[in-house]
């Protein structure tokens, strides 16, 4: 899922994403609650109509942003009091508020309100975070009114295997429509993350979607899929695009590099995106160096297309029973890219 | 002509402009000479291919930018020595260089190199500016090699009627493909500009295009057309878009205004652009307030579409023999907008 934090996937339009074949996007409850406000979005017909996007939308619960963006947060059994990162104004979001806001926004998939522990955090803190997340998960289910919205639970538990198991066990009893793995990509090592994903997926039902929040790099996605994850969101393709870093089947490249100055070729010869079929590396480099706004849009279109095809290729390989082979060929082409650039 | 200073009309793609119906764009010789360099653009197949735009392009001569952007310029009979506004490096452009650069860029219409006098400037300065512009105009004709490029002369003469007449007389003897009125929009009053346009057009042939450089507001365009001008370029639609100022048939509006916060209507009910048919004022305001990059693109699409229709309507009115009526109805709808906003 491309990330449309403020009701816009940065630098591209809904039409751009339709043309790329994007099937679902994510929007942030915390940001839209603060600006323009969920009641305004509701009055204007909901988020789909507001941003002219008629395919599925997932809104997160706001829990992670309250933890990572806002200042002076205070946690109680009822929810979290925090200061807006925009103007310092005081706000409160608990499980009920998270449901009310997400119902007003009108996404297809909504997330239960969770308490995302920092990293590192001691066992007792994380134990309490799991307790609150289960308590709030139950309240979210009770508060949820609109049945067309699919409500996902979020498994917490930090890096502690028994707490992950506990969180997964408590949430699966509540019978959510899907389950997310939260509390990762908060600064932990890649090896630890892989272990936690493995130890969490084990305790989740196989007949419901598993969503790994905030991950990740192409290789992180490949490895998480190998462990049983189905869904992802990440700002990497859009943020990297705005920094001039482009994804290709042979790894990443920086469009700023002088070697692209007069390179008439596309970013990726094997890519069929609008950018690769219409513009040269030389033009993209020129736009980026000249700080032209078009640079950000074209780079974003390419990167989102790359990620969409990454997932499409994964789904096809699984359907066709050649997952292991696909995973190996993914790494082989990345290695080829590194070898090419060393010899080039 | 929308202005694509650095080989990109700011915030929109060539495809966006094709869809809007834009027929010709302008690019700046001075900027493209400095970055990425005309030889690189030439190597990559010329400006059309570089920016993926196969409709006409006009490049200016660089004369105005050397005057307005660069530092420490020194003028001689041969041309102008100046410092780059990017890195302070020294450069020289004279009539020959202007032709060489514009031939490498490969535009359909190219401009002869001129000396644009500041405003105000005394009679002797402007007299010399006219002399240099004629001298350089002759050299440009002599240097021009590629016959498929249409070369326009630029009439100078400041605000002095006899110097405008002199400049026009000298240039028309050289038989350019078209004639531009330069040296306006440099800080003079609107009344003075109107007088100079009138006194210049009088001395230009009626069977060749007359191009007023760097103008302007919708009402300035209407009045210049009334005096016989055919072509315009201006950054106003694109720059205003990025400042949140949108053009409508009833005048301008600022999308920042709080009154648009929950306004589900389009920017202009009578506009058929992509933005007005797909997005609300509320969404455009939200994007602008949240500094989303999509704001700049959508606002630019609307404003360029407005200007394109402004010119299309002018051409149709002239063809159908109802110019005076059209001009009156233009002002009536602007007045109606002012009256509506006063009573609203």
The ipTM estimated for the assembled molecules is 0.96
Measure B266 CA to nearest chain A CA, in Å. 12
Helices (H), A111-209: 123-143, 161-173, 190-201
For residue A279, give the nearest of B52, B292, B297 by CB distance.
Answer: B52
Under the banding of pLDDT at 50, 70 and 90, the label for residue A209 is very high
User: Which residues of A fall within a CB distance of 8 Å from B298?
Assistant: 13
Among A95, A230, A213, A68, residue whose Cα is nearest residue A155: A213
| For residues B193-220, average pLDDT | 97
Span A143-192, pLDDT tens digits: 987 668 999 999 999 999 999 999 999 999 999 999 999 999 999 999 99
* Four-CA torsion A129, A130, A135, A140, nearest 10 degrees: 90
Contact A218, A310 (CB under 8 A): yes
- CB burial of residue A188 (10 Å; 0-12, 13-18, 19+): middle
- Chain A positions touching B51 (Cβ under 8 A) are 283
pLDDT of residue B32: 98
Give dist(CA A192, CA B14) in Å, integer: 47
Element (H, E) at A17: helix A14-20
In this prediction the pTM is: 0.96
> What's the whole-number mean pLDDT along residues B195-202?
98
Structure confidence at residue A67 (pLDDT): 82
Arithmetic mean of pLDDT, B184-213: 96
Task: Tell me if B293 and A11 make a contact (CB, 8 A cut-off).
Answer: yes
Place of tokens 């652009």: B273
Query: What is the mean pLDDT of the segment spanning B94-98?
Result: 96
Task: Say whether B50 and A278 touch across the interface (CB within 8 A).
Answer: no
Q: Nearest to residue B137, comparing CAs of B202, B81, B79?
A: B79
Residue A72 has pLDDT above 90, yes or no: no
Burial class (CB in 10 A: 0-12, 13-18, 19+), B272: exposed
Per-residue DSSP letters for A249-309? TTEEEETTSGGGTT--S-S-TT--SHHHHH--HHHHHHHHHTT-HHHHHHHHHHHHHHHHH
The pLDDT of residue A337 is above 80: no
Tell me which residue has tokens 């949240």: B290
Q: Within a 13 Å sphere around the CA of A31, how many CA atoms are in the beta-carbon half?
A: 19
Structure tokens at B82: 């100046």
Q: Are A251 and A338 in contact (CB under 8 A)?
A: yes
State the residue for tokens 């009344």.
B191
Cβ <8 Å between B262 and A289: no
- Dig out the tokens for A224 from the structure: 């998480």
Chain B residue with CA closest to A298: the answer is B13
- Strands A90-93 and A25-27 come out as unpaired
pLDDT value at B6 more than 50: yes
| Percent of chain B whose pLDDT exceeds 90 | 92
**b/e burial code for range B234-250 (CB count within 10 A of at least 16 → b):** bebbbebbbebbbbbbb
Please provide the average confidence, as pLDDT, over all residues in chain A.
95
pLDDT above 70 (res A248): yes
3-state secondary structure at position B167: helix
Q: Which of B16, B54, B230, B233 is catalytic?
A: B233
CB B91 within 8 A of CB B71: no
Chain-wide mean pLDDT for chain B? Answer: 95
Whole-number pLDDT of residue A63: 85
Angle between helices B161-172 and B190-201 (to 10 degrees): 40
Is A64 a residue whose pLDDT tops 90?
no
Percent of chain A with pLDDT over 90: 92
Q: Which among A44, A52, A298 has the least Cβ separation from residue B282?
A: A44
Cα–chain-centroid distance for residue A188? 17
- Closest residue of A to B86, CA-based? A290
Is residue A344 pLDDT above 60, yes or no? no
Which of A10, A14, A28, A36 should we substitute to test contact with B (largest number of B Cβ atoms within 10 Å)? A36
Inter-chain residue contact B44 with A298, CB threshold 8 Å = no
- CA atoms of A100 and A57, how far apart (whole Å): 16
**B47 burial via Cβ count (<10 Å: 0-12, 13-18, 19+):** buried
Res. B341: pLDDT tops 70: no
Residue A319 has pLDDT above 90, yes or no: yes
| Among B11, B40, B43, beta carbon nearest to A293 | B11
- For residue A50 the two structure tokens come to 């507001």
Residues in B whose CB is inside 8 Å of some CB of A read 6-8, 10-13, 15, 35-36, 40, 43-45, 50-52, 261-262, 264, 274, 278-280, 282-283, 285-287, 289-290, 292-294, 296-298
Q: Are A185 and A118 in contact (CB under 8 A)?
A: no
CB contact under 8 A, B10 and A287: no
Please give the DSSP secondary-structure letter assigned to residue B3: B
Cβ–Cβ contacts within 10 Å for residue A227, how many?
17
Instruction: Note the pLDDT tens digit of each residue in A98-157.
Output: 999 999 999 999 999 999 999 999 999 999 999 999 999 999 999 987 668 999 999 999
8 Å CB contact between B271 and B302: yes
| Mean of pLDDT values over A254-279 | 97
How far apart are the C-alpha atoms of B321 and A132, rounded to whole Å?
76
Q: How many angstroms separate the CA atoms of A154 and A113, rounded?
A: 8
Alpha-carbon distance values, A69 to A74, A84, A109, B54, B298 (Å): 14, 8, 23, 46, 28
> Which region, left, alpha or beta, applies to residue A160 given φ > 0 means left and ψ of -120 to 50 means alpha?
beta
What pLDDT, on a 0 to 100 scale, did the predictor assign at position B146?
64
Averaged pLDDT for residues B178-193: 95
Structure tokens at B293: 């990059």
Residue A146: per-residue pLDDT: 64
Q: Looking at residue A256, what is its pLDDT?
A: 98
> Taking a C-beta distance cutoff of 8 angstroms, is the pair B4, A283 a contact?
no
Ordered domains of chain A (ranges, CATH) = 14-234 (3.20.20.105), 239-337 (no CATH)
Any alpha helices (H) in chain B, and if so which ranges?
A: 14-20, 29-34, 38-43, 47-50, 63-68, 95-105, 123-143, 161-172, 190-201, 218-226, 236-242, 274-278, 281-289, 293-319, 323-343
User: B274-320, pLDDT tens digit by residue?
Assistant: 999 999 999 999 999 999 999 999 999 999 999 999 999 999 999 99
Candidate from A43, A44, A286 with C-beta closest to B7? A286
Categorize the per-residue pLDDT at B64 as very low, low, confident or very high, splitting at 50, 70 and 90.
confident
What does DSSP assign to residue A222? Answer: H
For residue B344, pLDDT beyond 50: no
A283 to chain B: nearest residue by CA? Answer: B50
């Amino acid at each position: 899922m491309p990330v449309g934090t403020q009701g816009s996937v940065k630098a591209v339009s809904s039409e751009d994403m339709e043309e790329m074949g994007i099937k679902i996007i994510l929007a942030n409850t915390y940001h839209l609650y603060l600006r323009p406000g969920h009641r305004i979005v509701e009055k204007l017909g909901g988020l789909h109509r507001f941003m002219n996007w008629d395919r599925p939308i997932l809104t997160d619960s706001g829990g992670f942003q309250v933890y990572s963006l806002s200042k002076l947060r205070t946690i109680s059994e009822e929810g979290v009091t925090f200061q807006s990162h925009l103007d310092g104004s005081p706000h409160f979001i608990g499980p009920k508020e998270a449901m009310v806001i997400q119902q007003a926004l009108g996404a297809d998939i909504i997330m239960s309100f969770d308490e995302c522990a920092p990293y590192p955090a001691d066992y007792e803190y994380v134990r309490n975070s799991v307790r609150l997340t289960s308590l709030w998960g139950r309240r979210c289910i009770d508060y949820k009114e609109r049945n067309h919205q699919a409500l996902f639970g979020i498994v917490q538990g930090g890096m502690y295997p028994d707490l992950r198991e506990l969180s997964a066990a408590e949430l699966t009893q509540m019978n959510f429509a899907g389950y997310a793995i939260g509390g990762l990509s908060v600064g932990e090592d890649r090896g630890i993350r892989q272990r936690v994903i493995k130890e969490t997926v084990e305790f989740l039902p196989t007949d419901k979607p598993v969503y790994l929040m905030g991950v990740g790099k192409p290789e992180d996605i490949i490895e998480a899929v190998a462990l049983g994850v189905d869904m992802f969101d990440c700002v990497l393709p859009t943020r990297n695009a705005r920094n001039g870093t482009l994804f290709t089947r042979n790894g990443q490249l920086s469009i700023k590099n002088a070697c692209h100055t007069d390179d008439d070729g596309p970013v990726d010869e094997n890519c069929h995106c609008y950018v690769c079929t219409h513009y040269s590396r030389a033009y993209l480099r020129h736009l980026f160096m000249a700080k032209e706004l078009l640079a950000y849009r074209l780079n974003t279109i390419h990167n989102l297309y790359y990620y969409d095809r990454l997932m499409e290729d994964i789904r096809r390989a699984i359907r066709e029973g050649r997952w292991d082979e696909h995973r190996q060929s993914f790494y082989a082409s990345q290695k080829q890219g590194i070898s090419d650039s060393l010899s080039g």
